[in-house]
Structure 1
Amino acid sequence: MAANGPIIIAHRGASGERPEHTLGSYERAIDQGADFIEPDLVSTKDGVLVARHENEISETTDVAAHPEFADRKTTKTIDGQSLTGWFTEDFTLAELKTLRAKERLPQLRPANTAYDGRWDVPTLEEIIALVKRREQETGRRIGLYPETKHPSHFRALGLPLEERLVATLAKAGYDGADDPVFIQSFEVDNLKRLNGMTALPLIQLMASVAGPPDRSGVTYAAMSTPEGLAEIALYADGVGLEKAMVIPRTADGKLAAPTRIVKDAHAAGLKVHVWTFRRENYFLPAEFKAGENPVAVGNVGAEIRAFLATGIDGLFSDNVAEAVAAKR
């Protein structure tokens, strides 16, 4: 699984340049030199794993334009949040395949809307097939970094993600500790379940606020202490940290001094991967913005280099080319 220095993980593919979680986005990321591509996985009604950032798909597909599915619109509570829209678990794969993907952030990424409708919603098997084909064409290993999205929700529906994910990966030859795969989740119990099902490395995702949806009263802040990180090391191989946990921002929006969390995680034997680097001004620290327009492209490379200096082992970026260049 070794890469030359910290790994570059294509966040939902090259999602800064193509609609996220499409074969076009993943292929663009591979062309730009990503070490890993990241599919977020949810389930269809008939138990097929597909790539969507959320199981609610109105922002990333044209489902609202399909009158035949108008009666599928509903309101559900997902991880404590009330959401209204259309949900993958209410569609068979055949039905989902009639939809077309679209740009999720058209106001920030208007150029990506030119690709609306070009691709459908890909299955995990289709993503693996793309990776295998591009490995043959390029002669280099391309990793997979799947995230199990809302695993407790899907297990409660009788559509568990873990068993299907492990079986699909194993069928494709991914089942060892040194294979180029990381499995990630914001939840805890499903990672513990996966730890007993596969030797593939596991990543505990954490945010700067809140806590794991399946652990009431537990906060990510508590999990990020030396004691909390030691507990994570019992079932996972690394942590996926929101940027602010590694380098917070000052009151005026600039980067502050780094925290101890990278050193503490390494002391616990955990890898540290950081999310998410994006080039638009809207997402950047104040010192790296280019003017005031939130859509303008700033200096994300400088931001990435500041984080690389903390000793992180990898990073997620919507903009693979800029991330690869910053690592050189």
Structure 2
Amino acid sequence: MKRLLAFGLLSSYLLAGCSNNNILEKDYLNIAHRGASGKAPEHTYAAYDKAIKQEADYLELDLQMTKDKELIVMHDNDVTRTTNSSGLVKNKTNNEIKKLDAGSWFDGKYSNEKVPLLSDVLKKYYNKTNFYIETKTPEAYPGMDRKLIDELNKKTLLTPHNLKNGRIIIQSFSEKSLSNIHKMNKNIPLILLVEDNDISKLTDTELKRLSKFSYGIGINYKKTEKELVERAHENGLKVHVFTLNNKKEVEKMKEIKVDGGFNNNP
């Protein structure tokens, strides 16, 4: 009897260890828009910590590149809106960026928050969450795509296991950027962000074309209709929407079967 009990416990343990951890198989992905940006200054550790505490499935990370070719996490290509300085990111070195106050604009209690390096974010949260990365204005940053892939490889985030389990998603409004990334690694889930004015161009033919290299499309939730979601699904594409602020908006999107949403309050 003791042997049978021990065997049963061992079997249960092994089965638990083999359980499916693929986040991409969830019906709906809760993506923290620039971290929990409704509660803390966007793209700071404070915002990321809150998002993880709220059990978001992904941290969204917007990329810019400094004068000395370092990838930092910031939405704008200009530091003016979210720091105590001004000027384009591409004209500043990482050492200059590191000295900026990235939190006081939101609330004085966040005055010690800094602009994070992508490499530091990946290291800090490697075992805590998943990453949804956007190449912002990549045409302004030659080499950004290659630099991103190199950084993800350094952090072992592009292993077959991690890719299979959805540790990384990359998105961009730039199809060229996604094409570059797809050539470097065909197994990374890619999301093509669609401008509002281009949503009407998403015919079945276009959706089928996009499915050749994309995991899905990202669109404004205010422009998202059930018919488009259904056609995207029929053509093998997921639909992620931006940007949600409350439970009512989330529930509305779930009703029409979108696959994930960016939320300021995850």
State the TM-score, normalized to the length of structure 2: 0.85
Aligned to 2:207: 229
CA offset digits 1:165-196 (Å, max 9, x no partner):
11111111111441411000001111111111
Shift of 1:18: 0.4
- 1:186 matched to 2:196? The reply is no
Aligned to 1:207: 195
Shift of 1:33: 0.5
Give the aligned residue type for 2:157: Y
Inter-partner Cα distance in structure 2 for 1:93 and 1:131: 21
Aligned to 1:146: 133
Gaps spanning 5+ residues in structure 1: where? 65-85, 105-111, 136-141, 210-218, 247-257, 279-299, 321-328
The answer (yes or no) to whether the contact 1:18–1:103 under 8 Å persists in 2 is no
Aligned to 2:84: 62
Aligned to 1:169: 152
Aligned to 1:74: none
Shift of 1:12: 0.1
Aligned to 2:47: 25
Give the aligned residue type for 2:46: G
Describe how 1:15-94 pairs up with structure 2 within 5 A: 15-64=37-86, 86-94=87-95
Aligned to 2:16: none
Inter-partner Cα distance in structure 1 for 2:136 and 2:39: 23
Aligned to 2:233: 266
Aligned to 2:242: 275
Inter-partner Cα distance in structure 2 for 1:103 and 1:317: 22
Structure 1 residues 147 and 115, CA gap change in structure 2 (3 angstroms)? farther
Moved more, 262-271 or 226-235: 226-235
Give the aligned residue type for 1:316: F
Aligned to 2:7: none
Aligned to 1:301: 247
Inter-partner Cα distance in structure 2 for 1:102 and 1:24: 9
1:34 match: secondary structure = coil
Shift of 1:116: 3.8
1:146 match: secondary structure = strand
Inter-partner Cα distance in structure 2 for 1:103 and 1:304: 30
The answer (yes or no) to whether the contact 2:104–2:111 under 8 Å persists in 1 is no
1:39 match: secondary structure = strand
Shift of 1:197: 0.7
Percent identity over the alignment is 31
Give the aligned residue type for 2:265: N
The answer (yes or no) to whether the contact 1:149–1:185 under 8 Å persists in 2 is yes
Shift of 1:103: 6.2
In terms of fraction of residues, the more helix-rich structure is: 2
Aligned to 1:113: 107
Shift of 1:259: 4.0
State the TM-score, normalized to the length of structure 1: 0.70
Shift of 1:245: 2.4
CA offset digits 1:241-278 (Å, max 9, x no partner):
111221xxxxxxxxxxx341111111111111111002
1:125 match: secondary structure = helix
CA offset digits 1:24-80 (Å, max 9, x no partner):
11111001100000010010001110011011110011015xxxxxxxxxxxxxxxx
Aligned Cα RMSD in Å?
1.5
2:59 match: secondary structure = strand
Shift of 1:220: 4.1
Aligned to 1:77: none
The answer (yes or no) to whether the contact 2:226–2:256 under 8 Å persists in 1 is no
Instruction: Give the count of matched residue pairs.
Output: 239
Runs of 4+ in structure 1 off by over 3 angstroms are none
Aligned to 2:18: none
Give the aligned residue type for 2:264: D
